[in-house]
Amino acid sequence: MTSTAGKIRSGPLLLSFLGFLSLYSLTNERLSFRFCDYEQNTSLTQLPRDNETRPSLTHPTQRTVHFLHPSDFGSYGEYYSGMWWQKLDSFLNTNYDDMGVPEDVAFKSYIFHHYRDIRLTRDWLDFMVEHWSQYVKRMMAFPAQPNVTEQLTSILTRYIQRTEPYDLSPDAVAPATLAVLPVRVTSGIAEENDLLALELAATLISLWKVGMGRAIVVGVSEYEQVLANRSFAIVRDQMASFGRTMELHSIEYDGISLEGKRLVAKLAALGLQTAFKQLDQQIEPDHVQAWLGSNPSRWKYVYFSEPDLVLNMRYDAIPAISELLEAGILMAAHRTEAVPHERDFPSVDPETVMDRVLPQQGLFAFVHDLDPDDSACCDHGRFYPAHRANPLVLDEVRYNAGCQSSWVYCGFLRKDIDYHNPATIMETHYRLIGYPLFTIKGGTGVPLVGSHQRMCLPQKRDLCDG
C-alpha cells in the first residue's frame, strides 16, 4: 500500500416550435460564483475572440466535421459538460491544487487552454453526453412505484447489452486514452446504489464502444470500490461477447476529510498527475501500475468524466476529433439532460407521477428519434427559448423560480397539474416548449434536451454547415 495525499488502496461518466423560457442552470449554486471569480482573476470581461479561421477538418475517407469555438457561446458555462478529453501533456501541466468545487476540474483545464483552445461539434450527434443522475434521483422518489425502478433498470441494461464496439481506425486516439471517473456514494438506499452501478457501467461501456484503452474509477471509501466492482462485472460480461477489452481498475483513497471527500475529482486529477511523475522518476512502481497499468508508456491522452455521462460519438467524426486532440485542442461534448417522459414508463400510471414525468401530450407528444446515419441535430447558437422574456439572453431562472436542480425540472415544482388539461401542462412546462425533444440511436433511447438551455435543431445529416 502506497500513499499520496492520504492512503490509497487499489482494487483488482424541423425546426421546432420556438417558445420562450427563462433559466440558465449550472451544476450547483456555487458554480456561477466561480465563473465570476475566473472572469475577474483572468481579466476577461467577455469570451475570447480572435481572428483565427476555424477550418473544418476533412479526412480522405470521412465526412467534414464542423466545430464550435468558445466565442460561439455566450458564457463559459455553456460549454461545461462534466467531461473533457485532452492531450496528456496539457493535463500534466494544469494546476488542480486550488480547486474549490468539483466542477473546477473542468474550469482549471479551460484556464490552461486560455478559454480558447476548446472545441465542441456543431452537430451535437458528433460528440455529446447524456447526463443521467438527476433523472434517476427524481424518479427514485417513488418508493410506492416499483415499476419505476424496474423500468430505469431496464433502460440502462438494454443500452449496455445492445452496445457494440466501433472498428478502430488507425488514426483514432482512443486506444491511447486513459479515462478517469471520480465517484462518491452518498446514499444507503440499495435500489439507488443498484442504479448507480448501472449508470457507471453505462458510462464505461460508452467509452469502451469508442475504443478507450483504460478506465480508472476513483473513490474515497470501500463503498465506491464495491460499486466499481459491480459495474466492472457488468462491463466485462458485455466486452467478453466481442473479444475486445478495456482495462478497468479502481482506486480508493483512505483517511480523507469530509471536505476532501466532496472533492473526489481533485483527488483523482492530482493522483493521476502524481502517478505520471512517479513514472518519470522511476519510483513507487506498485502505485504507478495501479493507476497506469502494466504498459504506462501507451497513454498519450486523458479523458475525465463524471460517472453518469453516457458518451455518444459518431463513428465518422472520430478522425476529425482525433486530429484536433493531436493538435492540443481540448474537446468538450455537448451535455444533454435525460428527460423523464411518459413514453418511457408505460407501466406507471401517469396521473400519479405528474410532478416527475413529462406527459405525452400536446407539444410533448412528439420526440425526434435521430439516427446519426441520416440525421443531425444542429447547434442553434445563442438563442434560449427557456427565457420567455428575452430568448436572446440567458436568465438564471433556476434561482428566480426556486428550481432546485436543472432548468429542465422547473415545471415539476407544481404539484396540482391535471393530466387531462393539456393547456395547464403546456403552461407549467413552458420552459421546455421551444425545445425539440430528441433521442439518439446508439444512445440510451430516452428523450434529451441541452443541459444549459442551448438547443439543437433536428435536421437531415450533414446540414449543419459551418
pLDDT digits (tens, 9 = 90+) for 239-260: 999 989 999 999 999 867 767 7
User: Is 449 part of any domain?
Assistant: yes
Lowest mean pLDDT among 70-74, 292-296, 423-427: 423-427
**pLDDT computed for residue 17 by the predictor:** 35
SS3 76: helix
CA 132/CA 139 separation, integer angstroms: 11
Average pLDDT estimate for 209-230: 95
What is the pTM assigned to this prediction? Answer: 0.86
| Top-confidence residue, 415 or 363 | 363
Q: CB of 159 within 8 A of CB of 151? A: no
Please return the burial class of 209, using the count of CB atoms within 10 Å of its CB with bins 0-12, 13-18 and 19+. buried
Q: Looking at the structure, do residues 293 and 365 belong to the same domain, yes or no?
A: no
Q: Which of 338, 367, 383 is the last residue of a domain?
A: 338
Residue 446 has pLDDT above 90, yes or no: yes
**How many domains, in total, are found in the chain?**
2
Q: How confident is the model at residue 11 (pLDDT cuts 50, 70, 90)?
A: very low
User: Is 257 part of any domain?
Assistant: yes
Question: Could you tell me the three cell numbers for 201?
Answer: 457501467
Q: Give the range of the structural domain holding residue 456, as residue numbers without chain letter.
A: 342-460
Average pLDDT estimate for 64-68: 95
Q: Which of 306, 338, 370 is the last residue of a domain?
A: 338
SS3 379: strand
CA 253/CA 218 separation, integer angstroms: 8
**pLDDT computed for residue 320 by the predictor:** 94
**pLDDT computed for residue 145 by the predictor:** 65
Residue type, 466: G
Q: Looking at the structure, do residues 141 and 271 belong to the same domain, yes or no?
A: yes
Provide the mean pLDDT of the chain. Answer: 83
Summarised one tens digit per residue, pLDDT across range 365-406 is 999 999 999 999 999 999 998 888 888 777 665 544 557 667
Q: Looking at the structure, do residues 389 and 354 belong to the same domain, yes or no?
A: yes
**pLDDT computed for residue 405 by the predictor:** 67
Q: Looking at the structure, do residues 109 and 235 belong to the same domain, yes or no?
A: yes
The DSSP string of 29-62 is HHHHHHHHHHHHHTT-SS--------PPB--TTS
**pLDDT computed for residue 353 by the predictor:** 78
| Distant-in-sequence, close-in-space partners of 281: CB < 8 Å, separation ≥ 6 | none
Q: Looking at the structure, do residues 146 and 102 belong to the same domain, yes or no?
A: yes
The DSSP string of 213-256 is -EEEEEESSHHHHHHHHHHHHHHHHHHHTTT---EEEEEEEES-
